[in-house]
């Protein structure tokens, strides 16, 4: 087993993996397929669920167009010490609230983007999530989610135990 920095522990393999998706991802497969691909969010969910089930893990897969809902979900998962794969969509570039929720709940987040945000419009180059995410995977289309799940399942995601009382 690899050594971890002091104060960090690996996410237990009995955890639920949370995959949270932000605005407009419900339109995946229809919205700008030349950028985001033709796969739907349901197709991505089915592949991830199959992988989790085969490993004896639960998958909590959700999508919302509402920032506050994403904030609440991240807080719940973070406080439970469970890993989050987060595609915050456009909120990645604008949401101080999501940044603060990840930090406050000590959430173990892998940020995911279907496209390479650095090869797109200038306003997409900056993510407010990246600074508080454990890692960022982008530009591999729907496979970005699978790469993030692999990081969780292989024990590469770590948590900081909540020692606050």
Tell me if residue 48 falls in helix, strand or coil: helix
The pair of structure tokens assigned to 109 is: 């987040």
Determine the Cα–Cα distance for residues 92 and 125; give it in Å rounded to an integer. Answer: 10
- Beta pairing class for 158-159 and 9-10: antiparallel
Active site residue 91: no
Up-side HSE of residue 40: CA atoms within 13 Å toward CB?
Answer: 6
Catalytic choice (36, 91, 99, 145): 36
Query: What residues have CB less than 8 Å from 35, skipping those under 6 apart?
Result: 114, 115, 120
**Residue 93 annotated to the active site:** no
Phi, psi of 6 (to 5 degrees): -55, 140
Tokens found for residue 40: 């739907």
Catalytic residue, candidates 18, 91, 113, 145: 113
- Catalytic residue positions? 36, 113
């Amino acid at each position: 087993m690899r050594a971890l920095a002091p104060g960090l522990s690996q996410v237990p393999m009995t955890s639920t993996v949370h995959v949270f998706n932000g605005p407009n991802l419900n339109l995946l497969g229809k919205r700008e397929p030349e950028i985001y691909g033709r796969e739907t969010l349901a197709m991505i969910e089915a592949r991830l669920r199959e992988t989790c089930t085969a490993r004896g893990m639960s998958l909590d897969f959700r999508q919302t167009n509402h920032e506050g809902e994403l904030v609440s979900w991240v807080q719940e998962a973070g406080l439970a010490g469970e890993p989050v794969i987060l595609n915050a969509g456009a909120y990645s570039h604008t949401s101080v609230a999501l940044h603060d929720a990840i930090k406050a709940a000590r959430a173990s987040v892998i940020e995911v983007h279907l496209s390479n945000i650095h090869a797109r419009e200038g306003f997409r180059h900056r993510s407010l999530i990246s600074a508080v995410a454990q890692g960022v995977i982008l530009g591999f289309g729907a496979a970005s989610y699978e790469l993030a799940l692999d990081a969780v399942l292989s024990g590469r995601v770590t948590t900081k135990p909540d020692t606050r009382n």
